[in-house]
Amino acid sequence: MFPAKPTSRFILFTLSLLLLISFFTTTTIAIASDLDTENGNDNDDVDNELDELLAIDQEEQEHEQDSQVDDADSKFSEAQVLSRAQRIVVELNTENWKKVTEGNEFVLVLGYAPWCPRSAELMPQFAEAATLLKELKCPILMAKLDADRYPKAAAALEIKGFPTLLFFVNGTAQAYTGGFSAQDIVVWARKKTGAPVMRTNTVNEAEEFLKKYQTFVLGMFKKFEGSDYEEFVKTAAADNEIQFVETSNFEVAKVLYPDIKSTDHFLGIVKSEPDRYTGYEETFIMDKILQFLNYNKFPLVTKLTDINSASVHSSPIKLQVYVFAKADDLKSLLEPLEDIARNFKGKIMFTAVDIADEDLAKPFLTLFGLEESKNTVVTAFDNKAISKFLLESDLTPSNIEEFCSRLLHGTLTPYLKSQPIPDNTNANVQIVVGKTFDDLVLNSHKDVLLEVYTPWCVRCETTSKQIEKLAKHFKGLDNLVIAKIDASANEHPKLQVEEYPTLLFYPAGDKANPIKVSARSSSKNIAAFIKEQLKEKDQSPKDEQLKEKDQAPKDEL
């Protein structure tokens, strides 16, 4: 159905209304004009203020428009990168994976799953790396496989976790050992395809290089020959993470490394941080240069991310200090932490972690029983001695520095988790915590049967019920303690357990050698074991007590 046509009466009414509006508008303008004439300078001031306000509004609008344009340009740029990368990166599937990996000399494959958050983080880095490698004319084919969609191809390529990077050379798979930022992937790929060192010959080339690389190793040689140069190139090929650049021109070297003094031959590392330049001063031997790089490639304080976590955790610096704090607090802590870190450079590695990032922070904080903490926490690890430490005093720069100094000199007391000391007055089963393990177990003059459990252990509940029955059965024996400890919340250096539940019998005369009792044994078998242990030590005083226990009703156990 179509709408009805307007009548002539309606048209006349509309025209009248328009004329009326026009009249009032003209009258208003005339009145405003008269008022302006009467008010004179007063209105001039008002007009000036209005002009200023309008100018400010226009400025803000222009700024907002510029900002929107910048954001749009940024998004457009990102979209361009991804769009171009989609054309560069080959999509693998069940039909083509073998042809692609075996039909090209170099192939880097990303195995991912659409639902995997880490895959989502790596995908844009991989795409950007593909674009950069294409621009650099690197002879490597970049490919990706949706392992969720093509499980047979994923199984054939042995992709078991996500994301996975695999490097193929003439069809043979090799492990990817580089980092996970776009630059890390580019550096690693170029080194593996025959370009371990970039050469810069002019100041312009050096300036362009600086726009692309924030961390790199500079080698300056008058001639690209000789044993020192050979060791430099060997090191560049052996290192998987850092871009190496070489030059024979001192002025070019000075652009890349302004602090350079030597005009003969030189090696130094450049980083994007306050302590930007570190020169190498030993003999040019590959192993020594690699060691120098491993100890100096990180910033004074490294911000832990998903992308750099593997590299941070594999650092050769065994003494490490971790600071967990909210992102805003980390910003204010950074400068004092850098000042402290500078005093321990090459000896202690400093890492900052956003405490709100559960994937990165929680695994560490759980080791201290602080997984729910929202406040700043300073911890340390000695990865050689497998020890951990917690700064329990006020978090002042002086206390943190003293904490680090004691870590370096080995005078810190290792931190062991412990629940608060419980009241065991009326308990059949004594609860042991980290702080009471020595007194109740190791230093006790009694035999101790200890159940080691965790709250998340499925079988522990059944064993705990058995222990309760045994405690009631043997109640009244002064020379026997039945106890339990939650290994998830309590630690002791003499308690090393790998499976849960675990039952340990600590004989009164030999606490250093506890006897492991099968947790799968029945209550009767465990009771028989305990009686046998007690009988072996002293027959006479316990005979009557044990005899009474033997006569106990069968259904008690």
Tell me the catalytic residues.
116, 457, 460
Burial status of residue 533 (CB atoms within 10 A of its CB: 0-12, 13-18, 19 or more) = middle
CA distances for 555 relative to 334, 449, 547, 551, angstroms: 65, 21, 17, 11
Phi, psi of 398 (to 5 degrees): -65, -40
Residue with tokens 């100041």: 203
Q: Of 201, 277, 196, nearest to 231 (Cα)?
A: 196
414: enclosing H helix or E strand: none
Q: Which residues contact 167 (CB under 8 A, 6 or more apart)?
A: 106, 107, 108, 109, 173, 174, 175, 176, 192
Q: Which residues contact 454 (CB under 8 A, 6 or more apart)?
A: 460, 486, 487, 488, 500
β partners of residue 199: 246
- CA dihedral angle for residue 295, residue 296, residue 299, residue 304, rounded to 10 degrees: -30
Q: Which residues contact 547 (CB under 8 A, 6 or more apart)?
A: none
Burial status of residue 440 (CB atoms within 10 A of its CB: 0-12, 13-18, 19 or more) = buried
β partners of residue 515: 505
CB 401 within 8 A of CB 341: no
DSSP one-letter string for 467-491 = HHHHHHHTTT-TTEEEEEEETTT--
CA distances for 427 relative to 9, 22, 430, 459, 481, angstroms: 99, 95, 6, 22, 11
434: enclosing H helix or E strand: none
Is the four-CA dihedral 19, 24, 25, 30 of positive or negative sign? positive
Residue 158: strand, helix, or coil: coil
Rounded CA-CA distance 191/236 in Å is 8
CB 274 within 8 A of CB 300: yes
Rounded CA-CA distance 524/46 in Å is 99
CB 246 within 8 A of CB 224: yes
Rounded CA-CA distance 316/314 in Å is 6
Return the number of other C-beta atoms located less than 10 Å from residue 167's C-beta: 20
Rounded CA-CA distance 546/543 in Å is 5
